[in-house]
Structure 1
C-alpha cells in the first residue's frame, strides 16, 4: 500500500489586523476575560470573502506541492461561514484555481471541518488507486452583524484567515498514520443561528429583532441554566478531548509518551491550558503560541498551525505529531502524523 500523507501546506492572512488592547473599551471586554483568552490580536478580512482567501491558500499549496491544478482529483472545502446561504463554495474555489478535473464538495463540520476533510481525503487515497491528489482547503471570516468576533463566545476571540494542504501518495512531507473522530449530539442545540432555516425562516421582523446572528454566549446561558447541565457539558468535553486521541493511539499501538508535538485549534489560553494538562505535554511542544497572535479562525486553524510550525522549524525528522480539534455539535477529531524531513530535504 502506498504511503499517504500531506505533501504541502499553505496559509493565508488578510492584511488588516486589530489589537485586542485597542478595542477593550469599545467592546466592553473585562480584564479577566482578556487575560484568560490571551489573544493579542486578530486579522480581519475587510474586502475579501471566505472563498477569496481559500483560493489564495489553495494556489500556494498547489505550487508548493509541485503539481498543476489539473492534477487534483478531489477538492474538499470547509468554512466557518459561507459567502452565501445555499451556495456551492467548493465549486467557486475549483473553478477559480483551474482544477477542472476534480470533484469538489463542501464538508459542514463547524470548527472541525478541516479535520473531517483530512479524514475523508486520507480514506479515499488509501482505498482508491485512481485518486492521487486531494486538496483540502478551509477558510474563516467572522463579521457583524452575523457574529461579533469579540463577544460571541467565552472560549476565544475570532480571527479571519485560510489554510490548505495537498494530500497525496508522492513527495509526502507528513506521513498520515491514522485518523479518528467521535461525536456526541446531546448538546447539538448550543451553537446555531436561530432563524434563516426551515424551522424558522428569516422575516423582516425577526431580522430587525436581532435574531439573525450567532451568539454562543446567549445560547449557552439559555441551555446551561444550572450547575448540573454545565457539569455535564464540561465532563463531555474533557472526556472526549482525551478519548479521541487515546483511541487513535491505542489502535496504532502508540501512547501519549510517543507524541513529540501537538497541533491544537486556536481557542483561548484558559481552554488550551486544560487540554495541555489533560494530555500531559509541555506547552512549548504545542501550537498554542500561534493562537495568541491570530485568534480562532474556525476551520483553518489546524492546517494553518501545521504550516506555521513547519515554517518556524518546530519539527524534527521522524517526529510524531498529533493534530487535535473539536467542533460544535459536538465532534472531536485527531490525526497522527510522522514528519519525514529526510525524504524531502
Structure 2
C-alpha cells in the first residue's frame, strides 16, 4: 500500500519565462569553454524579465495548478514554498505574499529550505501533514527560482550546469488515486556544510560593508566557495566521492524500503544538472538515460528546486510516464543532502 495510501498528486502547474538565452550567445563574454558546454549538455536557459521575481512566478505556477485541479483558494489548507537562497528581501515572509495573492484565506503557509533538494522534502512533509492531520486535506507545494546579477552569475557560479529561471507547483490531496506516493529516503552529510557557504559575507558573523561589495565578496559563486575550502585535488576528489556515495546510498535504501529491485524502476525524474552527473545517477540504478528526465535539461538548465516538479509534469505531458510505471524522483543539494521518492502511477 505504501507509506501514504490516502494521498495523491491532484495537479501540476508551472511557469517558465518567455525569454531564452543560448549558452553560445554568452560563452565569449563569460569565458565558457567548449569542453564545459559539451560536458553539461545544456544549450539554453529561460530568463525572467527585469521586473519579474521568484514570488511572481510562484504565484503564476500555483494558479495554474489550482486551475487544473479545480481547487478553490479557500480549499487549500497548507502552502509550502521553497527556493534555494536568492530571496527578494533579506528578511521577508514571502510565503505570506503567495498565500495572500492566491486568496487562500484558510491556509497556513510556511517556507521549507534545503537547497535544490527542497522539492522532495516538501513533498514528504505535505504527505505527512495530510496523513497525520484529519483537518488537512489539500496542500499546495510551490517552488521558484531567479538568478539575478550582480548577486549571482547564472553562467559562471558553478562548473556543473547553467541556471535558468522559473516556477513549479504541485497540489496534494487526500483521496486522490492514480499516483500513489509509496515512500521516501532522505540523507544529509553535514560534514560538507562549509563547502558551499555563499556568499562569503553578509550574515551576522561577517556583516556586509561597502568594502566587501567593492572586493566582490558579496557574490554567489559555488566555484569560488569550493576553491577557498578545498585546498588541493585530493580534497576535491574526496568530496566528489562522498557525494556520489550518498547519492547511491539514498537510491539503494529507497529500493530496500519498498521491496523492489533496480529492474523494477521504470522511469527516473532527476534535477537538471550536467549530463555527465545525470549519467552517474542513472547508472547507479541501471536505468537507461532515455528513461529519465535528462532530456529536459537541454532547454531549461538547472532551475534549482523547481526542476523536480517541472520535470515530472513535463514527462507526464510528453507521454513518457504511463499508468503502471514505478517512478523514482531524485535530487541532491548543498549540505550535502540527497532525497528520493517512489511513486506508483
- TM-score, normalised relative to structure 1: 0.96
Of residues 133, 151, 157, the one that matches 1:128 is 133
Q: Once the 2 structures are TM-superposed, how far is the Cα of residue 315 of structure 1 from its aligned partner? A: 1.1
In the other structure, the counterpart of 2:192 is: 187
Conservation of the 8 A alpha-carbon contact between 2:185 and 2:253? yes
Answer with 290-299 or 212-221: which moved more: 212-221
Q: Distance in 1 between matches of 2:199 and 2:179?
A: 37
Answer with 35-44 or 206-215: which moved more: 206-215
Q: Distance in 1 between matches of 2:294 and 2:56?
A: 27
* CA displacement, residues 64-83 of structure 1 (integer Å, 9 cap, x when unaligned): 11111111111000112211
In the other structure, the counterpart of 1:21 is: 24
Of residues 277, 290, 293, the one that matches 1:284 is 290
Of residues 200, 206, 212, the one that matches 1:206 is 212
User: Secondary structure of the equivalent of 2:164?
Assistant: coil
What is the aligned-residue RMSD (CA, Å)?
A: 1.2
User: Secondary structure of the equivalent of 1:163?
Assistant: strand
1:63 pairs with 2:67: yes
Q: Distance in 2 between matches of 1:2 and 1:274?
A: 31
Q: Where does the alignment leave 5 or more consecutive residues of structure 2 unmatched?
A: none
Q: Once the 2 structures are TM-superposed, how far is the Cα of residue 226 of structure 1 from its aligned partner? A: 1.8
Q: Once the 2 structures are TM-superposed, how far is the Cα of residue 304 of structure 1 from its aligned partner? A: 0.5
User: Secondary structure of the equivalent of 1:4?
Assistant: strand
In the other structure, the counterpart of 2:91 is: 86
* CA displacement, residues 166-188 of structure 1 (integer Å, 9 cap, x when unaligned): 01113344210111211011111
Q: Once the 2 structures are TM-superposed, how far is the Cα of residue 219 of structure 1 from its aligned partner? A: 1.3
Conservation of the 8 A alpha-carbon contact between 1:175 and 1:337? yes
Q: Distance in 2 between matches of 1:78 and 1:202?
A: 25
Q: Distance in 2 between matches of 1:173 and 1:21?
A: 42
User: Secondary structure of the equivalent of 2:341?
Assistant: strand
After superposition, residues 212-251 of structure 1 pair within 5 angstroms as: 212-251=218-257
Q: Once the 2 structures are TM-superposed, how far is the Cα of residue 279 of structure 1 from its aligned partner? A: 2.0
In the other structure, the counterpart of 1:301 is: 307
* CA displacement, residues 278-332 of structure 1 (integer Å, 9 cap, x when unaligned): 2211011000000111000001000010111111111111210000001111111
Aligned pair count reads 339
Q: Distance in 2 between matches of 1:135 and 1:300?
A: 14
User: Secondary structure of the equivalent of 1:263?
Assistant: strand
In the other structure, the counterpart of 1:54 is: 58
Of residues 157, 164, 167, the one that matches 1:152 is 157
In the other structure, the counterpart of 1:116 is: 121
Q: Once the 2 structures are TM-superposed, how far is the Cα of residue 258 of structure 1 from its aligned partner? A: 1.0
In the other structure, the counterpart of 1:163 is: 168
In the other structure, the counterpart of 1:270 is: 276
In the other structure, the counterpart of 1:6 is: 9
Runs (4+) off by over 2 Å: 170-173
Q: Distance in 2 between matches of 1:135 and 1:25?
A: 42
Answer with 296-305 or 200-209: which moved more: 200-209
In the other structure, the counterpart of 1:72 is: 76
Q: Once the 2 structures are TM-superposed, how far is the Cα of residue 338 of structure 1 from its aligned partner? A: 1.0
Q: Once the 2 structures are TM-superposed, how far is the Cα of residue 229 of structure 1 from its aligned partner? A: 1.4
1:338 pairs with 2:344: yes
Q: Once the 2 structures are TM-superposed, how far is the Cα of residue 227 of structure 1 from its aligned partner? A: 2.9
